[in-house]
Amino acid sequence: MRTVITGGAGFIGSHLTEHLLSSGDEVTVLDDLSTGSVDNLAAVADHPRLTFVEGSILDTELLGETMAGHDRVFHLAAAVGVRLIVDDPLHGLRVNIHGTENVMEAAREHRLAVLLASTSEVYGKNTADRLAEDSDRILGSALLSRWTYAGAKGIDEAFAHAYATRYDVPLVIVRLFNTVGPRQTGRYGMVVPNLVGQALRGEPLTVFGDGQQTRCFSFVADVVPALVALAECPAADKLAVNLGGLTEISIMSLAARIASRLDSPSPITLVPYAEAYGPGYEDMRRRVPDNTLAGRLVGFAPRATIEEIIDRVAEAIAVPAPAR
């Protein structure tokens, strides 16, 4: 397969790049290095089947040139992370909505199959016991910058789906639930690298709100093979599919597990949302995936425990990848 990965120098993208190279693909990474880094690709930098193109999915000419001659695209490039979205909602909206439109147009023109990486954020404030793919989206005010990400990714999905249906482009949409692992940066707010970094440095662990909000973290090494399997699963065509972790954990107990696992003297500090993200911030209280569809389609059965995830993230932070 000749595969393009937009956002291939990012956290999930770089793991996917390594995975596809090891299974024999020719891989072209398109990344503007805004949040990704060539350091993430250090292990495969000299691989003969890897081509790296620095550029944006907003550059339609470059995108078309890059995608021509390939069989499929994993569209992972996006503005992600609550911090980034709250700080610059306009950028997030542009990259996420126009970027996906550009990828779909280039896919149609050059006949590529598309995997669109989406997010559990599309369910918004829905606190259902298990969020299935047809669960409702419950979003807050359109003018609260926090909701622009959820809004944009929902539009992305709708756009990609309508486009793929109209022009007969193979498409699968994958909704990722808090994927974590080595190379994820805490810079844009992601809780696991943030708290692990704080624990390793002996700084207070910042738990936002009351800490009773929950998430189901999934490990990148469980998620990446499932992404590839879904891209290669004809029965997944035009579907949205959840991929998430099995264990629901509150952020307060996550912080406690991190401190104890890493033998850290750090105290846990509660930080009000307004202080962490600015006024008017609304969090998701709960976000639990129903993985039944992914299980049925590709046998998705995540294995990593939260302890393993903490260990792997801590190792990666303690031993940074070599700079190029």
Q: Does 148 bind ligand UDP (CB under 6 A)?
A: no
| Tokens (6 digits) for 60 | 């339609």
Q: Does 206 bind ligand UDP (CB under 6 A)?
A: yes
C-beta closer to ligand UDP: residue 233 or 249: 249
Of 123, 75, 76, whose CA–CA distance to 103 is shortest? 75
C-beta closer to ligand UDP: residue 85 or 227: 85
Site of tokens 């008017």: 280
Q: Does 145 bind ligand UDP (CB under 6 A)?
A: no
CB of 35 to ligand UDP, least distance (A): 14
Binds ligand UDP (CB under 6 A): choice among 92, 99, 189, 289: 189
Interacting residues with ligand UDP between 248 and 307 (CB under 6 A): 251, 283
Q: Which residues are catalytic?
A: 149
C-beta closer to ligand UDP: residue 28 or 206: 206
Q: Does 139 bind ligand UDP (CB under 6 A)?
A: no
CB of 189 to ligand UDP, least distance (A): 4
Interacting residues with ligand UDP between 207 and 226 (CB under 6 A): 207-208, 213, 215
Q: Does 87 bind ligand UDP (CB under 6 A)?
A: no
CB of 196 to ligand UDP, least distance (A): 10
Enumerate binding residues for ligand UDP (CB under 6 A).
Answer: 82, 178, 189-191, 194-195, 206-208, 213, 215, 251, 283
